[in-house]
Amino acid sequence: MDKIKEILIGTNNVGKYKEICDLLPKTVKKYSLKEFKISSPEETGNSFKENSFIKASYFSKKTNLICLSDDSGLKIDLLGGLPGIYSSRWSGEKNNFNLAIKKVFKEMQKAKEDWRSDDNKASFVCCLTIFWPNGKKFSSEGIINGKISPKKIGTNGFGYDPIFIPKGYKNTFGEMSPKLKMSIDHRYKAFLKIKNFF
């Protein structure tokens, strides 16, 4: 199998872009969507896998490059798996995660008044899809289980990191060093299944 030597990182999310670049070998040449000024397609799929495929195939076709896209999100048991594939949309158009986290707390409160007195199971899911200009594709999924922190803590990372405590740890992703987070998280677990392509 020919190893991938250059790839388009098909995301407009800066936090994800950084994490994906850090996971890939240094020797792989990485292109960003900024260089091509391409905006995202509509995510019309019903699963992380469908949406990551929609993005990877769209960006690959636009640029004629091999593309790696990520669709991910936070699933909260008490909310029946929401925000899930709607994780990005919960933050509103301006990607306001203060607002998205407030919405999580509000919905938790609505579902169970004293939710803060229990452990509230949640998981982060990531589906990575590689799409080649010749139509070949490969997807992999990674999951990390944990719980929702009763308070927003930490300023590292992005998105919902300040309210997610992975199983076996006391701190939120927002409190962890980026190095630790990227050695245990959903993206890393999905990456392990595609790493031989590089």
Q: Which residue has the tokens 């960003």?
A: 32
Cβ neighbours of 39 (radius 10 Å): 6
Within 13 Å and on the Cβ side, how many CA atoms surround 85? 12
The answer to the question of residue 172 lying near ligand ITT (CB under 6 A) is no
Q: Which one among 8, 24, 71, 101 touches ligand ITT, defined by CB under 6 A?
A: 71
Least distance to ligand ITT from the beta carbon of 91, Å?
Answer: 6
Look up 71 and say whether it is catalytic: yes
Q: Is 147 in the site for ligand ITT (CB under 6 A)?
A: no
| Beta bridge pairs of residue 128 | 70, 140
Q: Fill in the DSSP letter of residue 178.
A: H
CA-wise closest residue to 71 among 148, 124, 4: 124
Contact 165, 149 (CB under 8 A): yes
Which residue number, 78 or 190, has a Cβ lying nearer to ligand ITT? Answer: 190
Residue (11 or 78) nearer to ligand ITT, CB: 11
Residue closest to 144 by CA, chosen among 178, 167, 121: 167
Determine how many CB atoms are found less than 10 A away from the CB of residue 142.
Answer: 20
> In the bound complex, what is the minimum distance in angstroms from residue 133's beta carbon to ligand ITT?
20
Is 31 a binding residue for ligand ITT by CB under 6 A? The answer is no
With binding defined as CB under 6 A, does residue 162 bind ligand ITT? no
Choices 1-9, 20-28, 156-164, 189-197 (CB under 6 A): range interacting with ligand ITT: 156-164
Amino acid identity, residue 178? P
Residue span binding ligand ITT (CB under 6 A) among the ranges 23-31, 112-120, 134-142, 155-163: 155-163
Instruction: Give me the residues that bind ligand ITT (CB under 6 A), please.
Output: 11-13, 16, 40, 43, 55, 70-73, 87-88, 124, 157-161, 173, 185, 187
Residues catalogued as catalytic: 71
